[in-house]
Amino acid sequence: KHTRRWCTVLSNSSLQNSSEADRYACSPLPAYLEGSGCVVKEEENSQRPLQDVCFHLLKLYSDRHYDLNQLLEPRSITADPLDYRLSWHLWEVLRALNYTHLSEQCEGVLQTSYAGQLESEGLWEWAIFVLLHIDNSSMREKAVRELLTRHCQLLETPESWAKETFLTQKLCVPAEWINEAKAVRAHMESDKHLEALYLFKAGHWNRCHKFIIKHLASGECFRLGPVSPGITPNSSNPRTP
């Protein structure tokens, strides 16, 4: 009923921004509060009254420059103020329709909050999907690399292989980023051989070379055992029979 009334009100441009519209029908509460008997008191100077997302969409329809920060507020959709699932997906739909006037701060909150939700549920590969929507390239790369560093494991399993395949083939995440994250993991676990391997796979050949010379080469020489019978201690030439 509220929605039909507001459709009528908003169709009349003379009422879109007037106090008369507010007197015609009260703004609808979010669906999770409808019928609950809850009365939400709004302060006179409040910039963000609690209203249903459908109402905000109607306002956006009548005014293309309507505040998107209010529209995408989680509390207009769900009782959980930290649940950004629908807010993020709705923002992507609106952005595809060329509604791009969301503040940079609010967009950043949307991206990182929803990515954090997915990561906390063990869906870190989908969190990367969300972070790849960050417009700023340097911030996008930094966020994705940090998440890879937290979750890429050295032990290869069918599950880890499937996730890495998804990242590289579906999301086009560079394999070098994954290998660099594994090199960091190997360093944290003091596995020098794997650290060298993944530095090489990540394309850090100079770092890999220096690392091998410093940490591995000397040890490998000692593991070779006694000098070969064909080489004298004082000469690099083979001994003639």
Of all residues in the chain, what percent carry a pLDDT higher than 70? 74
pTM of the model: 0.76
Of 139, 148, 71, give the one whose Cα is nearest residue 103: 71
202: in domain: yes
Q: Residue 174 — pLDDT band, cuts 50, 70, 90?
A: very high
Q: Which residues of 69-83 are buried (b: 16+ CB within 10 A; e: fewer)?
A: bbbbbbbbbbeeeee
Task: Say if 93 falls within a structural domain.
Answer: no
pLDDT band at 50 (very low <50, low <70, confident <90, very high): confident
- Asked if residue 171 belongs to a domain, the reply is yes
Identify the pLDDT of residue 221.
Answer: 52
What mean pLDDT is predicted for residues 161-181? 96
pLDDT of res. 28: 83
pLDDT tens, residue by residue, 212-238 = 888 787 656 545 455 444 444 444 444
Q: Is 110 within the bounds of a domain?
A: no
User: Is residue 211 a part of any domain in this protein?
Assistant: yes
Q: Which pLDDT score, from 0 to 100, does residue 181 have? A: 95
From residue 12, how far is each of 27, 28, 62 by CA, in Å?
16, 18, 9
The DSSP code for 80 is: -
pLDDT digits (tens, 9 = 90+) for 64-76: 999 999 999 999 9
Q: Which of 21-30, 87-96, 126-135, 193-202 shows the lowest per-residue confidence on average (mean pLDDT)?
A: 21-30
Please indicate, yes or no, if residue 206 is contained in any of the structural domains. yes
Q: Of 57, 64, 65, 68, nearest to 27 (Cα)?
A: 57
What does the pLDDT look like over 102-128, one tens digit per residue? 999 999 999 999 999 999 999 999 999
Question: Band of the pLDDT at 18, cuts 50, 70, 90?
Answer: very low
pLDDT of residue 48: 64
Instruction: Tell me if 117 is assigned to some domain.
Output: no
Q: Give the total number of structural domains in the chain.
A: 1
pLDDT at 145: 97
Residue 200's domain comprises 152-217
Q: Considering the domain boundaries, does residue 160 fall inside one? A: yes
